[in-house]
Amino acid sequence: MANPPVEQIFIDKSLLNSRIYKNIVNNSSGSITEIDDYKSFIREIQNDIHQRFDKKTLLLYPEKGQFLHACPGSDGVVCCRYFVLDFGMNCPYDCQYCYLQTYSKIPILTIAGNIEELLIQLKNKILEFPDIHWRIGTGEYTDSLALDNLTGIGQILVEFFSLLPNATLELKTKSVEINSLLNLTHNGNTVISWSLNPDYIVNEVELHCSSLDQRFSAAKKVIESGYQVAFHFDPVFYYEQWEPDYKALVDRLFAEIPHNKIRWISLGTFRYSPGLKEKLRLRHPDEFITKSEMILASDNKFRYIAPKRAKMYKYLSGLILKHHPEMMLYLCMETQTTWKRVFSQNMAGPNHLDQAFEKRRLFLKNNF
């Protein structure tokens, strides 16, 4: 599926010499308007009571703060020492479960255009701690590649990380915008990852995203270009056919993708913040994802009850490990108790999990 088109682009005048601005001018067929002050522009949109969420309008603005953050995780869950590189907010897709519906305060797409500053910050931080292997991902507040046909940020980051032996970049996406990455020198320092869900969920819930067929096909193409890939079974949904559907998906994954090209796989059951259900029902009165029995957990997110989550994780991890017992498999944003229920052993915390990622990286590097 082609990305929904961005029709209007507003660019802060301070960015007219930036690389991203030039890429957008070359790649966009939408209207481009220069603005004097992005802050006033945002204020105007926020104060306009008629403004609805608009995924066809993009603002290119200069980010003044820090681009790199430790993943915020969630209260009481096991973290994995992941870092998040924020270069944008919101995304042209429309997943019903997207937490940005309640988190984002800006009702349009935004991209930080001062990528030159982002690269300086990143390099300084990574070189400050040369003895750790950084895992850094870009898909926290936007899809990593959904707007890449306009911005070209993917290429800039892949080439930048190719020179950093102690860092791995993860580009996490539900898009198939990979063509600009295929012939780059990446030195194995970039992992491209896709969220996976059964066709039923992709079609009913992940609106406007690429199909499952397209995601597998894109993954195979980047593997041919020497990249490793990763997959996120996140969010996993509980519905009548969930067991056969997820089994078919896991079987398909290992039938189509060589296990020695998969760097890691994550599992995370569906969770959502208060307010999402109400927003979702206004637009999709027939949605089914929040109709399961869920409770407000200690991190203020609605989750399936703990025994049900453990059952789902056990089922999925059993399927995955049966195909490949050495796979680096982890639970995203889960409690110690759930880890113990699923894997019958304690996950001692971030160090433990970080070491497991590093072991997998070295294993693939030294053996394949």
Q: Interface residues with ligand SF4 (CB under 6 A)?
A: 91, 93-95, 98, 100, 142-143, 174
List 31's β-bridge partners, or say none.
Answer: 8
Cα angle vertex 227, ends 109, 22, to 5°? Answer: 40
φ, ψ of residue 141 in degrees (nearest 5): -110, 5
Structure tokens at 154: 């993917």
Query: Would you report the helix, strand and coil content of the chain in percent, each value rounded to 5?
Result: 40, 20, 40
Query: Cβ 36 to ligand SF4, closest distance in Å?
Result: 29
Q: Provide the H-helix boundaries in 284-349.
A: 306-323, 336-343
In the bound state with ligand SF4, the residue whose beta carbon lies nearer, of 18 and 195, is 195
In the bound state with ligand SF4, the residue whose beta carbon lies nearer, of 98 and 276, is 98
In the bound state with ligand SF4, the residue whose beta carbon lies nearer, of 59 and 95, is 95
In the bound state with ligand SF4, the residue whose beta carbon lies nearer, of 100 and 223, is 100
In the bound state with ligand SF4, the residue whose beta carbon lies nearer, of 142 and 338, is 142
In the bound state with ligand SF4, the residue whose beta carbon lies nearer, of 98 and 332, is 98
Closest C-alpha to 190, from 166, 169, 176, 175: 169
Query: Cβ 302 to ligand SF4, closest distance in Å?
Result: 16
In the bound state with ligand SF4, the residue whose beta carbon lies nearer, of 126 and 169, is 169
In the bound state with ligand SF4, the residue whose beta carbon lies nearer, of 88 and 152, is 88
CA–CA distance, 367 with 295 (Å, rounded to integer): 44
The answer to whether 311 and 305 have CB atoms below 8 angstroms apart is no
Burial of 43 (0-12, 13-18, 19+ CB in 10 A): exposed
Burial of 11 (0-12, 13-18, 19+ CB in 10 A): buried
In the bound state with ligand SF4, the residue whose beta carbon lies nearer, of 4 and 188, is 4
Per-residue DSSP letter, 64:
-
The number of beta carbons lying within 10 Å of the beta carbon of residue 39 is 10
The answer to whether 253 and 230 have CB atoms below 8 angstroms apart is no
Query: Cβ 93 to ligand SF4, closest distance in Å?
Result: 4
Query: Cβ 87 to ligand SF4, closest distance in Å?
Result: 13
Query: Cβ 262 to ligand SF4, closest distance in Å?
Result: 21
Q: Strand, helix or coil at 35?
A: strand
CA–CA distance, 335 with 74 (Å, rounded to integer): 10
Query: Cβ 89 to ligand SF4, closest distance in Å?
Result: 9
CA–CA distance, 259 with 303 (Å, rounded to integer): 31
The answer to whether 86 and 69 have CB atoms below 8 angstroms apart is yes
Query: Cβ 98 to ligand SF4, closest distance in Å?
Result: 3
Query: Cβ 235 to ligand SF4, closest distance in Å?
Result: 9
The amino acid at residue 199 is: D
Query: Cβ 322 to ligand SF4, closest distance in Å?
Result: 29
Query: Cβ 101 to ligand SF4, closest distance in Å?
Result: 8
CA–CA distance, 368 with 229 (Å, rounded to integer): 14
In the bound state with ligand SF4, the residue whose beta carbon lies nearer, of 82 and 93, is 93
